[in-house]
């Protein structure tokens, strides 16, 4: 093949088509647990996090519910993935060898938000959220009391029941129910069997499974490495537990001009993708996380287990 701008434009068009097709066809999971927030600057301040507004009976004048300033900021980061194509491969008409690489770039770009979002869950026991506490903590302050959304028990029907009860029992500073109903149980692959038993089995140990269908099981490869940890989430609200912030969506680009340094010095044409984004925490009330470091003892009535006793 004669290497000229017409040929290079054709290669770029072909690569971009492969990239877009792979990107669009790749299945992702982050959107199940995170709200996508468009960003227009280098960072976004979620100062409105801190209080969930509630309806009240209108007696007298309206009461303005001032949102507590949390000063929780998510800064956008730059991300890229680049590969080089040797000019000899174009001249020798072997450019098709790069097609799987370009497709892999498309898939990697599509699933990158999964890495950002689920890394937040995995590190939620140490990473801080809007109130200055770790996202999963036993010291979240609500009014004059401290509330926990953190456990240590391994995933069992009993610990799942305790976590579910704890989330559904959450109230605001005026002791009004937050009406939180968890609907997703997120686990690492090592916990898949236990998760399926709790949420899908008709019976457990010969007893009717009352928790069947109470949530959807989400098995997340990105959670591997913290195999015993598990997370119960409420994703039915307008703001999900996590935030995916996008400043610039992934864009396929190239450097193929003869005057580009990589072409002149190394006879190498560059193709890749870049974007700007990041992820952050929403309301901690929408999530419960357990490290799974402690065995969960059996109990006759799992719904009466006090989640605070785990701490």
Q: pLDDT digit string (tens) for 227-237? A: 999 999 999 99
Pair of tokens at residue 81 = 């993935």
Predicted pLDDT at 169: 97
Pair of tokens at residue 122 = 């995995």
Predicted pLDDT at 305: 42
Kindly tell me the number of DSSP H helices and DSSP E strands found in the chain.
6, 15
Residues 6+ apart with CB under 8 A from 44: 37, 73, 74, 76, 245
Torsion, Cα 297 218 35 51, to 10 degrees, reads -10
Largest CA distance in the chain: 82
Nearest to 46 by CA among 54, 37, 55: 37
Could you read off the pLDDT of 238-256 as tens digits, one per residue?
899 999 999 999 999 999 9
Under-50 pLDDT residues of the chain: 63-65, 67, 69, 300-311
Predicted pLDDT at 3: 78
Torsion, Cα 216 222 224 226, to 10 degrees, reads -90
Pair of tokens at residue 235 = 């994703």
Predicted pLDDT at 48: 76
Q: What is the DSSP letter of 278?
A: E
Residues 6+ apart with CB under 8 A from 204: 157, 197, 198
Could you read off the pLDDT of 153-191 as tens digits, one per residue?
999 999 999 999 999 999 988 889 999 999 999 999 999
pTM score: 0.85
- Which secondary-structure segment (H or E) carries 265? helix 261-266
């Amino acid at each position: 093949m004669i290497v000229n701008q017409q040929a290079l434009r054709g290669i770029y068009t072909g690569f971009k088509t492969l990239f877009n097709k792979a990107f669009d066809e790749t299945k992702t999971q982050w959107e199940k647990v995170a709200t996508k927030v468009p960003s227009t600057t280098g960072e976004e301040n979620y100062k409105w996090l801190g209080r969930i507004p509630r309806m009240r009976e209108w007696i007298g004048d309206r009461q303005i519910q001032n949102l507590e300033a949390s000063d929780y900021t998510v800064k956008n980061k730059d991300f890229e993935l680049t590969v080089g194509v040797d000019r000899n491969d174009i001249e020798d008409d072997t450019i098709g060898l790069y097609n799987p690489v370009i497709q892999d770039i498309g898939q990697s770009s599509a699933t990158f938000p999964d890495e950002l979002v689920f890394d937040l869950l995995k590190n939620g026991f140490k990473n801080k959220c809007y109130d200055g506490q770790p996202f999963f903590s036993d010291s979240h302050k609500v009014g004059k009391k401290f509330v926990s959304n953190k456990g240590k028990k391994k995933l069992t029907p009993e610990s799942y029941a305790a976590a579910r009860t704890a989330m559904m029992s959450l109230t605001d500073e005026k002791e009004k129910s937050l009406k939180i109903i968890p609907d997703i149980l997120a686990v690492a692959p090592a916990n898949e069997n236990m998760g399926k038993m709790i949420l899908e089995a008709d019976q457990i140990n010969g007893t009717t499974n009352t928790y069947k269908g109470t949530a959807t099981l989400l098995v997340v490869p990105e959670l591997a490495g913290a195999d015993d940890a598990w997370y119960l989430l409420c994703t039915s609200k307008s703001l999900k537990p996590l935030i995916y912030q996008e400043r610039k969506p992934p864009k396929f680009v190239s450097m193929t001009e003869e005057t580009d340094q990589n072409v002149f010095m190394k006879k190498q044409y560059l193709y890749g993708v870049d974007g700007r984004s990041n992820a952050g925490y929403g309301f901690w009330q929408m999530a419960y996380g357990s490290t799974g470091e402690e065995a969960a003892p059996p109990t006759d009535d799992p719904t009466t287990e006090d989640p605070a006793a785990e701490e």
